[in-house]
Amino acid sequence: MPTLPQLIEEDIAVINRALDTLIRSTESTTALIIDKGGFLISQRGDAPGVDSVTLAALAAGSFAATQTIAGLVNEPNFTSLYQQGEQSSLLVCNIDDFSLLAILFRAGLSVGVVKYYAAATIKQVASQLEAATKRAPGEGVDLSLLNLADTSSVFQRRTA
């Protein structure tokens, strides 16, 4: 079963613009769109010394664990996960059934501000993913079947 719609270059451009706006608005280090299976779909910003592919996989795993905890405490859904550090913090937010937004930012930044701007980004990305699904219903992709560490080449197709 496909986990993501077939994204084309135009979809990624819209997603990247939304991430760029988020980074500018929050002064975050980097923002990632992640498949819930842990695959990196798109990344904007720069986090020197951070392996984004591994960060994506671990952030998705942490979010999945958080969802399991939600079930244990009779909460139907936790929509985000916040990890605060001394130098950096990470906010992982649910976008839809198949994807997440992860934002890496300096620990001195307010998580409230990051969450505020993340909400608009989530709406933009979700809208673009929905448009991609409607464009080609049933023609999604399950990134886990492709067995790729770097999935960026999967989303380079242009419309005819």
**Position 142 confidence tier, pLDDT thresholds 50, 70, 90:** low
**Position 160 confidence tier, pLDDT thresholds 50, 70, 90:** very low
Contacts of range 149-154, beta carbons closer than 8 Å, 24 or more positions apart: 149/53, 150/40, 150/53, 151/35, 151/39, 151/40, 151/41, 152/40, 154/7
The residue-averaged pLDDT of 108-117 equals 95
Average pLDDT value over all residues in the chain:
87
**pLDDT of residue 148 exceeding 60:** no
Residue 47: per-residue pLDDT = 82
Cα separation of 98 and 75, whole Å?
A: 20
The residue-averaged pLDDT of 103-128 equals 96
Residue 8: per-residue pLDDT = 86
Q: Could you tell me which CATH class the domain 9-134 is placed in?
A: alpha beta
The C-alpha angle 74, 80, 81, rounded to 5 degrees, equals 95
Contacts of 39 (CB under 8 A, 6+ apart): 56, 57, 60, 143, 144, 148, 151
- C-alpha distances in angstroms, 82 versus 41, 70, 159? 21, 14, 37
**pLDDT of residue 110 exceeding 80:** yes
Give the rounded distance of the alpha carbon of 124 from its chain centre: 12
**Position 28 confidence tier, pLDDT thresholds 50, 70, 90:** very high
Is the separation of the CB atoms in 135 and 157 below 8 Å? Answer: no
Residue 80: in which H helix or E strand, if any? strand 80-84
Residue 93: in which H helix or E strand, if any? strand 88-94
pTM here is 0.85
